[in-house]
């Protein structure tokens, strides 16, 4: 029979053997798990790398529209040495201008009259020889704001009738101070955005086909700002509306 000491040593050796076996099994499981995790991470990295292939394209939509608002300032001047007489003449000339506009079909709602600007041309001039002939000069502005752009443009060509009545019209070349506006941008935006997006996709599809790839989903899209400009210097009543869409697509094999 074994002595108590021998039995104790045998029990300890059995426990150690079981512990070593459990550690080995645990290590095997851990190794298997790490290998599986490494494989999954490797697959994910490959997929992420594939998704990094993108193409950035731009789509342009550009259209021309007639302006729908015209702002036409009519300026005329009066000069004199008597301030009260100058204001009387200014009032009479203003009535002539208003009468002319109304006879041509311009309504009261389309007309605004600004306060006159009166200048003392002798102020600050000490030498008599440098003084202008008339001490006071006044400029009056009557503005037409209308949605009837074509009708107002025709009326502009008849403005010389006021000159024949003795009204001194001021300003630069015909049409220099006239402003034309396009206010229907919200109405045309959806169609132009759709057109710009479609053209961008057409360019992206062509690029994908040339590179033997397939066009994927949109990664990023940026809508440019709409710009409204005159078609050219001689046709400010025709507006060019423009927008550019920038879109980034994923590419796949």
53-66+183-252 matches 70-179 in fold: no
Q: How many beta carbons lie within 10 A of that of residue 105, not counting itself?
A: 12
* Highest mean pLDDT out of 41-45, 174-178, 207-211: 207-211
pLDDT-based confidence at 51, cuts 50/70/90?
low
Strand, coil or helix: 217:
strand
C-beta neighbour count of 57 within 10 angstroms = 19
Q: What is the mean pLDDT of the chain?
A: 83
Task: Say which DSSP state 128 is in.
Answer: G
* Mean pLDDT for the stretch of residues 202-224: 91
Say if residue 173 is exposed, middle or buried (CB neighbours under 10 Å; 0-12, 13-18, 19+): exposed
Question: Could you give the residue ranges of the DSSP H alpha helices within 104-179?
Answer: 149-156, 160-164
Q: What class has domain 53-66+183-252?
A: alpha beta
Q: Given CA atoms 99, 105, 109, 114 in this order, what sign does their dihedral have?
A: negative
Least confident of 4-13, 63-72, 103-112: 4-13
Residue 15 has pLDDT above 70, yes or no: no
pLDDT for res 173: 47
- Taking a C-beta distance cutoff of 8 angstroms, is the pair 57, 249 a contact? yes
Q: Is the dihedral of CA 147, 150, 151, 155 positive or negative?
A: positive
> What is the pLDDT, as a whole number, of residue 122?
87
Give residue-wise pLDDT tens across range 134-181: 899 999 999 999 999 999 999 998 988 988 888 999 865 444 589 999
- Per-residue model confidence as pLDDT tens digits over 92-130: 999 999 999 999 999 999 999 999 999 998 886 655 567
pLDDT at 232: 92
Q: Where are the domains of the chain?
A: 1-51, 53-66+183-252, 70-179
pLDDT for the residue 123: 83
Q: pTM (2 decimals)? A: 0.72
Please state which of the four CATH numbers 1.10.260.40, 3.30.70.2970, 3.30.30.60, 3.30.70.860 is assigned to the domain occupying 70-179: 3.30.70.2970
């Amino acid at each position: 029979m074994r002595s108590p000491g021998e039995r104790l040593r045998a029990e300890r050796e059995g426990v150690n053997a079981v512990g070593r076996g459990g550690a080995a099994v645990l290590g095997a499981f851990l190794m298997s798990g790490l290998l599986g995790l490494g494989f999954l991470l490797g697959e994910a990295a490959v997929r992420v790398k594939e998704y990094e292939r993108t193409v950035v394209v731009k789509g342009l939509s550009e259209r021309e529209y007639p302006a729908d608002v015209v702002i036409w300032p009519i300026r005329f001047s009066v000069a004199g040495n008597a301030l009260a007489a100058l204001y009387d003449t200014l009032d009479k000339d203003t009535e002539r201008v208003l009468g002319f506009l109304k006879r041509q079909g311009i309504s009261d709602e389309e007309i605004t009259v600004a306060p006159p600007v009166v200048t003392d041309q002798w102020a600050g001039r000490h030498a008599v020889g440098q003084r202008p002939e008339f001490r006071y000069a006044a400029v009056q502005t009557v503005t037409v704001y209308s949605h009837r752009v074509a009708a107002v443009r025709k009326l502009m060509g008849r403005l010389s009738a006021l000159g024949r009545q003795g009204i001194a019209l001021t300003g630069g070349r015909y049409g220099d101070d006239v402003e034309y506006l396009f206010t229907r941008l919200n109405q045309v935006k959806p169609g132009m955005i759709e057109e710009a997006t479609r053209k961008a996709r057409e360019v992206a599809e062509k690029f994908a086909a040339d590179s033997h790839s397939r066009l994927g989903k949109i990664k990023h899209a940026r809508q440019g700002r709409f710009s409204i400009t005159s078609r050219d210097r001689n046709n400010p009543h025709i507006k060019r509306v423009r927008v550019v869409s920038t879109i980034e697509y994923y590419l796949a094999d």
